[in-house]
Structure 1
């Protein structure tokens, strides 16, 4: 007879994320048939600033409170419609739970109930089930094969929409591939982060941090950013390219002007002394339309070729506009054999778009953000599809996070080998790193550090 652990309550509330905006927290309570023991677990939902147009819909209230960003409607959807559907259901049937919610929503993008409503329940059910079985979450999700600790992709310099500075590209990351294990890699990353702070202070540059904990200085261009990273790695006593390699998230869709088909670089424009067109605002690629720094898709690819020749960059995320499949094909053909090309806005953790990318031979890695697709089941399906096609899966946070550490367990569950969860700074980022430390300690001798694929590609 199969085990049945009945859901007896589903409850949501409005809480705050790391940007001080409302988000959803969900508690699920289940009861064992045999003993009547009650188990409760909670999960909370992150939110992105740089979002792909094909992501599942995050519902907001649109009322005066919280500048329209409240989620009371979403809370009501959980506490009424979703709760009514799931009471009495087996919490161990993750696929069934997720299917019920998707069917109740009835849209392709979860725009009825809201992906933030559905995901909160989906994750809370998974955690409640794991707790009921007295298993760690990573073991419940991944089974006995879960044992690889991910290499952290630490976003130590922020730009783009994550920081209102002069840097056009969004994230610049260090990856401690030369570490012996995750504990060692986290230490290396934290040391480099603090040396980077010292260097920026010495140069009288800002050490204020962006949304993901990275510093947000005003520097001339992308090359200057990587030179600062090199200095920090060397000052920390490590070898650039051997102990530590670099990654970047271009977030090119944020720079793309659909009217001209060009990528506009407002930060470089300001650094070059160019003035915005009269009447333009601040902080957007659209601000600089007249005599600004612009690049075509071919010029973007050429820029990446130059950068990976000059610096030990092993991963480039969202290098081109999210709907430029032809450009992505060209980029993959030209540099996909030398660097990991990660699709975030391109794929939005959606199995349909990932399949399209695989069929077109576009990119070679998929960024996994559970709130882009809205259920644990669909996120796991996306990971499996990517891996079966030989694509890497990179587990990722969002810029608006909570202290929830679900993605740390997910990264180990699927043996992803890589995780993006920000700088070694700010509690909502370190919560994930600290959970990975606990998991590595629990796995003991069976734990492995996921550097093999990074080194192979390098």
Structure 2
């Protein structure tokens, strides 16, 4: 089961040590739950009764949350009275108050504050891990692959005659965000093989492009490659001190090269050059996607996104910037987290402007699947689809129910690999069984990622052998025209419960 922790490669030793302790405590508690109370509670039940067992797991978790809340209240009551009057610190998500006499724009005044981070209960990994273990046991008892068992659970035991495979969103570059004057907006540059290719052909093509990109990034005699030093800034950096090569010769935890740029277009132009060099055309032979991770870039004092060091843009200016980018690079078919989930109006605007040209995908907004499924007031913006991650107390039944809701609203489902990933390849079976449109696994390096790509290829071979592999249609973008007509309220992706 994947850890909930966010992996930060440039974190201070204190933060890294704290995260490690938190993970260890969570795993230790989860193992205690599994070996003791869950072991007793689930004994003699049939693993094929996934829905019933998941209900029991959900009730067990709810009681654990209540126990934690009671314990917290008791600790607060027992705390010394002298601690009570101390002023609470301001939440990190809120803006600081402006100084007297300082003018503030209406954009800054009306900026929605960041929603508080949902607390993660220590030991919650046990719930998701147990639910997945039950699903695996059910598949074993029925003597069928896990992906088929998941599909039968989702479609009420109606055996699908044919199955489609999710298209991989393969990360090629992880852009550096911590060095001065380096690109901050793009967290990942991804490639998506077109539908006419098999998965094996698509991955082989991505490997060819990756090889060419590495060649372009390779410094020739410690001088950056001429293809990449054609911008004015690039030439300026070559004067005086020698500039470091664009490729930092480090592999990210995402399984790809870490690199940095001076503007948003450079990594996209690099992909274009690499494809042209090996006789491929972007948009036809390979498609682009970027993970913007905009929620990580907000400066709450200025009320703007810092897309580059010292370069700030308001939420409305971000929408204009993306419109310009998609018009210049039509091969860019997906933007992940182009805005914070709190900027609902801008999500509506960007869906209006670009919804018919590319997928606008929310990832940060769908972190807590259980919470979104229960609470209709969760702040999930209007979008083409969401990235779901199987972590913590998420249960298999939650994924089945939530993807059913997305299917009903004609939104696409993407299953994503969390940062604290393991080498278990069940995520691929879940994606295939649930009928996800895409799967986001990271790069083509590191064992915990490669094992999943290998599982995806194995399922493709199996379905092709059984003649149950259905070929995919070309990429179709959802139509937001009806939802954004004048006088109509733009609807959320999740309908309120009946």
TM-score under structure 2 length normalisation: 0.70
CA distance in 1, matches of 2:2, 2:317: 37
The yes-or-no answer on 1:90 pairing with 2:74 is no
The yes-or-no answer on 1:397 pairing with 2:414 is no
Q: Provide closer, same or farther for how the CA distance between residues 67 and 165 of structure 1 changes in structure 2, counting only shifts above 3 A.
A: farther
CA distance in 1, matches of 2:281, 2:265: 19
Q: Please point out which of 117, 129, 141 is paired with 2:138.
A: 129
Q: Please point out which of 219, 241, 250 is paired with 1:208.
A: 250
Q: Which residue of 2 aligns with 1:69?
A: 23
Q: Please point out which of 433, 443, 446 is paired with 2:468.
A: 446
The yes-or-no answer on 1:232 pairing with 2:271 is no
SS in 1 for 2:361: strand
CA distance in 2, matches of 1:194, 1:305: 30
RMSD of aligned residue pairs (Cα, Å): 3.0
Q: Which residue of 2 aligns with 1:79?
A: 35
1:237-291 CA distance string (max 9 Å, x none): 32111011111111111111334321123xx22xxxxxxxxxxxxxxxxxxxxxx
Shift of 1:67: 4.3
Q: Provide closer, same or farther for how the CA distance between residues 399 and 358 of structure 1 changes in structure 2, counting only shifts above 3 A.
A: closer
Q: Which residue of 2 aligns with 1:223?
A: 265
Q: Which residue of 2 aligns with 1:49?
A: 6
Structure 2: runs of 5+ lacking an equivalent: 9-15, 67-117, 153-158, 220-224, 226-244, 480-498
Indicate conservation of the 8 Å contact 1:332/1:361, yes or no: no
Q: Which residue of 2 aligns with 1:188?
A: 205
The yes-or-no answer on 1:263 pairing with 2:326 is no
CA distance in 2, matches of 1:187, 1:175: 12
TM-score under structure 1 length normalisation: 0.76
Q: Please point out which of 150, 159, 167 is paired with 2:175.
A: 159
CA distance in 2, matches of 1:351, 1:404: 22
The yes-or-no answer on 1:103 pairing with 2:62 is no
Q: Which residue of 2 aligns with 1:24?
A: none
Indicate conservation of the 8 Å contact 1:395/1:416, yes or no: yes
**Is the radius of gyration larger for structure 1 or structure 2?**
2
CA distance in 2, matches of 1:411, 1:139: 11
Q: Please point out which of 206, 209, 214 is paired with 1:197.
A: 214
Q: Provide closer, same or farther for how the CA distance between residues 47 and 105 of structure 1 changes in structure 2, counting only shifts above 3 A.
A: closer
Correspondence 1:327-346 to 2 at 5 A? 327-346=346-365
CA distance in 1, matches of 2:267, 2:406: 31
SS in 2 for 1:420: strand
CA distance in 2, matches of 1:401, 1:352: 22
Q: Which residue of 2 aligns with 1:288?
A: none
Count of equivalent residues: 380
Q: Provide closer, same or farther for how the CA distance between residues 64 and 49 of structure 1 changes in structure 2, counting only shifts above 3 A.
A: closer
Query: Greater strand percent: which structure?
Result: 1
CA distance in 2, matches of 1:164, 1:118: 42
CA distance in 1, matches of 2:477, 2:365: 25
1:190-230 CA distance string (max 9 Å, x none): 22122211111143432422111121112112210111111
The yes-or-no answer on 1:298 pairing with 2:316 is yes
Indicate conservation of the 8 Å contact 1:148/1:448, yes or no: yes
CA distance in 2, matches of 1:136, 1:98: 20
Indicate conservation of the 8 Å contact 1:159/1:165, yes or no: no
| 216-225 or 165-174, larger mean C-alpha shift | 165-174
CA distance in 2, matches of 1:408, 1:296: 38
Q: Provide closer, same or farther for how the CA distance between residues 46 and 65 of structure 1 changes in structure 2, counting only shifts above 3 A.
A: closer
CA distance in 1, matches of 2:324, 2:393: 34
Indicate conservation of the 8 Å contact 1:342/1:364, yes or no: yes
1:96-137 CA distance string (max 9 Å, x none): 222111111114978446432211111111111111211000
Indicate conservation of the 8 Å contact 2:335/2:358, yes or no: yes
The yes-or-no answer on 1:251 pairing with 2:293 is yes
